[in-house]
Amino acid sequence: MGAKLGQNNVKGEQTKNAILAAAEQLFAESGYRGASLANIAERAGVTQSGLLHHFNSKDELLVAVLEQHNRDDDALLIGPLSMGGVDVITGLRELIVQNSENRVSVRLFAVLVAESTSVDHPGHDYMKARYDRLRNRLVGALSIGIQRGEIRADADLEVLASALIALMDGIQLQWIYNSQVDMGAAFDLVASALVQSMTGGATAA
Amino acid sequence: MGAKLGQNNVKGEQTKNAILAAAEQLFAESGYRGASLANIAERAGVTQSGLLHHFNSKDELLVAVLEQHNRDDDALLIGPLSMGGVDVITGLRELIVQNSENRVSVRLFAVLVAESTSVDHPGHDYMKARYDRLRNRLVGALSIGIQRGEIRADADLEVLASALIALMDGIQLQWIYNSQVDMGAAFDLVASALVQSMTGGATAA
DNA sequence: AGTACCCGACCTTGTGGTCGGTCGGCATAT
DNA sequence: ATATGCCGACCGACCACAAGGTCGGGTACT
């Protein structure tokens, strides 16, 4: 016993990653329901049985894909959020532009977020929690702007955060259908307008 | 032949509508792939065979649902678009608030738009065309604002339209997950900022 | 008599998942 | 060193089942 170094890993970890990558692609293309374990396994260079050896069920595979992307997302968010205040908004623009290099990733979440609206969908809770987390973080980062006096104190940060997230999600959807759509420009347009109005003193209506 | 009054209608049209309504609900809940003909038929009070009598295939049923909603959408868009100019934006706000009374309808499109990103999805072409149509109409209605001098002549209306549509789509998604999300407020926030910045003369960076 | 409506039985295909087993490497006892 | 035992990786055959769709017929209205 002692060392318990049984985990040979290396080989197993490789194919596991291959499966994860294949699953990511196919879930992004066809959604969770539309992608079959057989397809995923094939693309990963394994049989379906081989796949099931590493992930006990399709649900489990989904969760694994989600968790992996979760970590990536967190890493990407550190930058924009660390700025705090109004810069958060311009930071999000960077994020969206970076994302445009990552078609699969964008598509993965755009597709799964919508598919997971069904309460019985295996990704439902995850997505719901993700929205809450995103909003909370954004609100936190934006509130620094109020302390600094960059943002009007009476601004409703919850609503602002929701709007920003909505804009990102929505523009990504259009971009998937037509890559001519300029995500950066669209975000810039409302971001600059937003900054302008949040810093100024004018109150709507 | 002659009169070709074969279409008894009345009864058939009723069940046909019942099927359409059931399909709308289930597609909205579970998406196209997630909803089964058997479920839809059951909710409509018919057997699966009975359903297939009125719609020859699942694809055909989807198209029928889409087309029906297409007409409704057009009717709803007449108001906001007829205003022209900046008022189009405030008009869209009305639309979004009205939509909040219509959970199924909102959900239907939010779910199907994402699911239809797969090129082989039966709703793909429709959704792609829908985006183009929406953008074009919006651009047309907004361009009136330039003529009137309400909107800066150098404004990129394509981008503006994309951003507005994105905002609507995105906020609806969040609303599905959490009906606490205030769609009207979120839209107002960026709408007012947008109007303020489009009418003013300041040019972004 | 004809036609629209609708059902039940049936078929095919694809699905997620199980089960038993093979192969190869590593650790220990000898 | 070599044999033994064990475990992780992986496959092929198989299964239960639900999916969309076909077909033949029955019923009722006109």
Of A145-149, A169-173, A195-199, which has the strongest mean pLDDT?
Answer: A169-173
Judged by CB atoms closer than 8 Å, whether chains meet at B186 and A169 is answered as no
B129 CB near a chain A CB, below 8 Å?
A: no
Q: Chain B residue closest to A198 (CA)?
A: B193
Q: How many CB pairs lie under 8 A apart between chains A and B?
A: 172
Pairwise pLDDT comparison (B121 vs B75), residue with the higher score = B121
Claim to verify: residue A140 and residue A70 sit in the same structural domain: yes
What one-character-per-residue DSSP string does B149-172 give? TSS-TT--HHHHHHHHHHHHHHHH
Domain boundary among B12, B28, B56: B56
- Do B104 and B149 belong together in one domain? yes
Three-class secondary structure of residue B144 per DSSP: helix
Q: What is the pLDDT of residue A100?
A: 94
What is the CATH classification number for the domain harbouring B23?
Answer: 1.10.10.60
* CB atoms inside a 10 Å sphere around CB B201: 7
- Say whether both B49 and B93 belong to one domain: no
- Nearest nucleotide, CA A52 to C1': C17
What range defines the domain where residue A177 resides?
Answer: 58-199
What CATH number should be reported for the domain holding residue A137? 1.10.357.10
Tell me the pLDDT tens digit for each residue of A33-82: 999 999 999 999 999 999 999 999 999 999 999 999 988 888 889 988 99
Of all nucleotides in the shown strands, which has a C1' nearest the CA of B46? C6
Same domain for A38 and A107 = no
Are A188 and A100 contained in the same domain? yes
Residue B72 counted as domain residue: yes
Is A205 part of any domain?
A: no
The Cα of A12 is separated from the nearest Cα of chain B by a number of Å equal to: 31
Nearest residue (CA) to C1' of C6: B50
**Per-residue model confidence as pLDDT tens digits over B35-62:** 999 999 999 999 999 999 999 999 999 9
**Is the same domain home to B146 and B111?**
yes
Round to whole Å and give the CA distance between B162 and A167: 10
In a domain, residue A204? The reply is: no
Question: Which residues make Cβ contacts (< 8 Å) with residue A200, sequence separation at least 6?
Answer: A152
* The 3-state secondary structure of B128-145, one letter per residue: HHHHHHHHHHHHHHHHHH
B111 vs B73: CA distance, rounded Å? 16
CB-nearest partner of A131 from B128, B174, B198 = B174
Query: What is the C-alpha to C-alpha distance for residues A110 and A105, in angstroms, rounded to an integer?
Result: 9
> For the segment B138-147, what is each residue's pLDDT rounded down to a tens digit?
999 999 999 9
Shared-domain flag, residues B82 and B167:
yes
**Does any strand C atom come closer than 7 Å to the Cβ of B50?**
yes
Which is nearest to A170 in space by CA: B175, B35, B157, B24?
B175
Torsion A75-A76-A80-A81 (CA) sign? negative
Residue B205 inside a domain? The answer is: no
**Residue type at B196 in one-letter notation:** Q
Domain membership flag for residue B204 = no
Residue B8's pLDDT is 53
Q: Is the CB of A37 under 7 A from strand C?
A: yes
Residues A69 and A45 in one domain: no
A195 Cβ within 7 A of any nucleic strand C atom:
no
Do B108 and B141 reside in the same domain of the chain?
yes
Chain D bases closer than 7 A to any CB of the protein: 7-13, 18-24, 29-30
Do A43 and A100 lie in one domain? The reply is no
Of the residues A19, A37, A56, the one at which a domain ends: A56
The minimal CB distance from A173 to the residues B114, B190, B205 is found for B114
Burial class (CB in 10 A: 0-12, 13-18, 19+), B203: exposed
Number of domains in chain A: 2
What does the DSSP 8-state code read for residue B47? -
CA-to-C1' span, A124 to C6 (A): 38
Q: Are residues A167 and A136 in the same domain?
A: yes
Q: What is the chain A residue with the closest CA to B161?
A: A186
pLDDT of residue A204 exceeding 90, the answer is no
Question: How large is the average pLDDT for residues A187-196?
Answer: 95
Mutation site for A-interface testing, chosen from B173, B178, B179, B198 by largest number of A Cβ within 10 Å: B173
Chain-centroid distance of CA B177 in Å reads 18
Whether residues B100 and B39 share a domain: the answer is: no
